[in-house]
């Protein structure tokens, strides 16, 4: 069974959903340390002025704070601002009206943690892309150890025979542990076809909502990477 493990992101880019579609089980790595100024609580939309951040304010109290412990600062009207910006910059996108009502209903709900918000939104976007991959949270498995050993323990508890990783992990994964535990290791390679967008030249590293709003039912045609995964341990 091929398993992928990534921290939850707020309205991630299309590569995140391609990654989920490429595995048999996807695990949100929610019991890792929360990192500020990262993708956990923000992402970008495209405007005529270039990319603009949509950021969810969170309570950050200590460096050891876990992602699953990180709560949203509901005293700020962040969701109204996000809906207003989406309406302003995608109101003329051909398929925005198809998704607006359901998306805005989710954004209008009260959420306690950033994990809960991200996972509900992720499930919704997956439905639009017709992605059926089962989802779990790493905290459910209670993995033990540090760094790669902890990941190996998580994969063992999840029943993984293959692990799909993002390419950035090449810098820190201990590949020898995958060989020792007979787990195949693949690195995802991201290479995508451009799709029609509003506001000038193509911009790829934005929320996957941009793809849905612009391509609608044809979004799947632009979702899959053209490059095969890199095999590190076979």
pLDDT of residue 12: 99
Pairwise CA distance, residues 169 & 176, whole Å: 14
pLDDT of residue 63: 80
pLDDT of residue 72: 98
pLDDT of residue 61: 86
3-state secondary structure 45-75: EEEECEEEEEECCECCCCCCCEHHHCEECCC
pLDDT of residue 204: 96
Q: Pinpoint the alpha helices (H) of 91-173.
A: 96-107, 114-129, 147-158
pLDDT of residue 62: 79
User: What pTM was estimated for this model as a whole?
Assistant: 0.96
DSSP annotation of 221? G
pLDDT of residue 5: 99
**Under-50 pLDDT residues of the chain:** none
Pairwise CA distance, residues 100 & 159, whole Å: 38
**83: Cβ contacts below 8 Å, ≥ 6 apart:** 104, 107, 108
pLDDT of residue 87: 98
Where along the chain do its domains lie?
2-233
From the list 148, 153, 149, the residue with the least C-alpha distance to 138 is 153
pLDDT of residue 145: 93
- In the sheet with 2-6, reading across from the earlier edge strand, the strands are 135-137, 25-28, 2-6, 162-165, 184-187, 230-233
Instruction: List b or e across 181-214, with b for residues whose CB sees 16 or more CB atoms inside 10 angstroms.
Output: eebbbbbbebebeebebbeeeebbebbbbbbbbb
Pairing of β 2-6 and β 25-28? parallel
Side-chain-facing half-sphere of 159: CA atoms under 13 Å: 6
pLDDT of residue 81: 98
DSSP annotation of 31? T
Q: Which two tokens stand for residue 202?
A: 């193509």
pLDDT tens digit string along 60-117? 987 889 999 999 999 999 999 999 999 999 999 999 999 999 999 999 999 999 999 9
């Amino acid at each position: 069974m091929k398993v992928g493990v990534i921290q939850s992101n707020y309205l991630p880019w299309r590569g995140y959903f391609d990654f989920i579609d490429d595995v048999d089980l996807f695990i949100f790595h929610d019991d890792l340390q929360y990192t500020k100024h990262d993708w956990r609580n923000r992402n970008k939309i495209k405007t005529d002025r270039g990319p603009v951040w949509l950021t969810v304010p969170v309570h950050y109290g200590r460096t050891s704070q876990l992602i699953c412990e990180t709560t949203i600062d509901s005293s700020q009207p962040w969701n109204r601002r996000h809906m207003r910006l989406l309406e302003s910059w995608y109101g003329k996108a051909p398929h925005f009206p198809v998704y607006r009502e359901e998306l805005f209903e989710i954004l209008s709900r009260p959420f306690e943690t950033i994990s809960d918000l991200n996972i509900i939104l992720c499930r919704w976007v997956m439905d639009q892309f017709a992605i059926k991959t089962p989802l779990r949270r790493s905290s459910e498995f209670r993995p033990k150890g540090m760094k790669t050993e902890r990941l190996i323990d998580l994969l063992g508890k999840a029943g993984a025979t293959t692990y799909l990783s993002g390419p950035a992990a090449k810098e820190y994964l201990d590949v020898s542990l995958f060989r020792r535990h007979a787990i195949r290791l693949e690195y995802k390679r991201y290479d995508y076809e451009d799709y029609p967008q509003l506001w000038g030249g193509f911009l790829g590293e934005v929320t996957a909502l941009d793809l849905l709003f612009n391509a609608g039912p044809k979004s799947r045609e632009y979702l899959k990477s053209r490059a095969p995964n890199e095999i590190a341990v076979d």
